[in-house]
Structure 1
Amino acid sequence: MDILTYDFMQRALLAAVLVGITAPAVGIYLVQRRQAIMGDGIGHVALTGVALGFLTGTNPVWTAVVVSSLGAVLMELIRWYGKARGDLALAMLFYGGMAGGVLLINLAPNGSNANLTTYLFGSITTVSRSDVVAICVLAALVVLITLGLRRQLFAVCQDEEFARVTGLPVRLLNLLLALTAAVTVTVAMRVVGLLLVSALMVVPVAAAQQATRGFAMTLALAIGIGTVVSLSGTVYSFYVDVPPGASIVVLAIAVFGLITTLAAPLARRRARRAAAAGEGCTLEAPGIRPAGDDVSV
């Protein structure tokens, strides 16, 4: 394939694979907690980190990791203690992160609106060797946490009170999940873009839930969908010259629509079978069962 003869495309495709794995691996926990929008909020805050990198002359990936991690921890603290004012505080944090990023990027001597756009919507031509190294290290950390602690994280996301009763460090695990989400956003920003990364964390998981039952199968299928659409969207953006983030998200939504369309008849068929089985069962009052009936449990 001629596409592999370009060094920047080799780096972009490697980054796309890592993004396709890490985003759904974290997103499945956020969906379970009904916090699907959290990735979008972290993306807003990470923009300040990107601009800070331009301002200080350091790699924006690492500054984005630091700033987005601080933002994620602050979001988690607001969720714990915010109560009625929590939504307002989160909104100010999100919009403040976006405004701070725009302000700092214009103050940076080597920053520009063009540079900002590549981080907002992704760009396959700007993935450097140092970016690939950073993405590989961060992706390995995300996979290690999301798969190594999957039972504990699932328990916390499913029912915090039950997890606390069983002795799990709920607050520590919540903070760890928030930090992992922040790292995932910075891993994906070069390929998908900060404004669209949340979709890649959520849509593959939503698509997998239409076709599978059980956490392990849903996680595996979501990672598979995320990897396929990330690679396909990156290749498409190379030939059509469009931002890869838009291509990846549109493909993910198309896959969701396809799986939903195919899964709907199967779900209706299962529902009809369950209804038919229910109609075949008769309920009888205790003590009035006819003699000689064989009752099996």
Structure 2
Amino acid sequence: MMALISEVFQYEFMQKALLVGVLIALSSAVLGIFLVLRKMSMIGDGLAHVSFATVAIALLLNQSPLFISIPVVMVASFFILKLNDAARVHGDAAIGLVSSFSVAVGVLISSVSTGFNIDLFSYLFGSILVIRSSEVYLSLFLAAVVIGTVIFFYHDLFAITQDEAFSRVIGIKTKRMNYLISALTAITISLGIRVVGTMLISSMIIFPTVTALQVARSFKETIFLSAFVSVVAVVLGVIGSYVFNLPSGATIVMINAMLFGVFFLIRKWRR
């Protein structure tokens, strides 16, 4: 067992998998608290369904899914906000409309095309062990953008998370911040396609935050603890998937679930 674990850090493809996985873990954890506390976490699930359609389009055009997913998913996130504002289609209804339409597009493309069904399956449930060098560099850059933006606008994001109406009164441009959160979520979802797949990526945003909320005593402590939990889940998931020959995406999500159970028991024990 120890020999297998030591092998993980010797192979280049495993090094790439761990690097990209940690980057996505940090991005999703930093962003997750703003989505979960504002009850916007399901937008991640909706955008994940949009990314399914973009993957199908990218494979049809023989292009890297990241280069198509990022702009399309970002536009979809803005469209969801527009539905909320202009069409009076609120919350989960707007997300449901966009996500169901996107899944239908992806299924139609995959049904009329041949030759990439296996590739599409790998993007559905994650294929972190076959990451290319270009995807590593792009993930590094975009993860830095997500984390850096959250740090720069931290006080405004914190304010609208606590009380959006009061934030608007004191002069914070809440609509602009909402679009910013949506854009960062779109980037994180697109990056996470390779890590856990389009069907599981929303768990990377939700699980670490709700796990940290079980024991954290402050907003910042929640962010740091969420990042720690997310990184631990990814590292153990990647190593576990290699050692036991399991799907990497599902393994990461299962470890996240187990960590949530542990932190939940800790909270009960404290009480």
- TM-score above 0.5, yes or no: yes
- SS of the counterpart of 2:51? helix
Partner of 2:20: 15
- Structure number, greater radius of gyration: 1
Alignment of 1:28-67 (within 5 A): 28-67=33-72
Is the contact between residue 84 and residue 90 of structure 2 (CA under 8 Å) also seen in structure 1? no
Q: 1:177 to 1:86 in 2, by over 3 A?
A: closer
Is the contact between residue 205 and residue 222 of structure 1 (CA under 8 Å) also seen in structure 2? yes
**CA offset digits 1:153-194 (Å, max 9, x no partner):** 121122111111111111111001001000000111101111
Q: 1:246 to 1:37 in 2, by over 3 A?
A: same
Task: Give, in whole Å, the separation in 1 of the partners of 2:100 and 2:239.
Answer: 33
Task: Give, in whole Å, the separation in 2 of the partners of 1:113 and 1:84.
Answer: 34
Aligned with residue 246 of structure 1, among 245, 250, 258: 250
Is the contact between residue 26 and residue 227 of structure 2 (CA under 8 Å) also seen in structure 1? yes
Residue 245 of structure 1 aligns with an amino acid whose one-letter code is G
Partner of 2:82: 77
Q: Per-residue deviation at 1:108?
A: 5.2
Q: Per-residue deviation at 1:32?
A: 1.2
Are residue 193 (structure 1) and residue 197 (structure 2) matched? Answer: yes
CA RMSD, aligned part only?
1.6
Task: Give, in whole Å, the separation in 2 of the partners of 1:251 and 1:213.
Answer: 23
Q: Name the TM-score, length of structure 2 as normaliser.
A: 0.93
Q: Name the TM-score, length of structure 1 as normaliser.
A: 0.85
Aligned pair count reads: 266
Consecutive unaligned residues of structure 2, counting only runs of 5 or more, are 1-5
Instruction: Select between 115-124 and 73-82 the one with higher mean Cα deviation.
Output: 73-82
Consecutive unaligned residues of structure 1, counting only runs of 5 or more, are 269-297
**CA offset digits 1:95-152 (Å, max 9, x no partner):** 111121232245556x522111111111123211111111111111111112221111
**CA offset digits 1:45-102 (Å, max 9, x no partner):** 1112222222223211110001110111011112223435664443221111112123
Identity, in percent, stands at: 32
Is the contact between residue 106 and residue 112 of structure 1 (CA under 8 Å) also seen in structure 2? no
Alignment of 1:1-297 (within 5 A): 1-83=6-88, 87-107=92-112, 111-266=115-270, 268=271
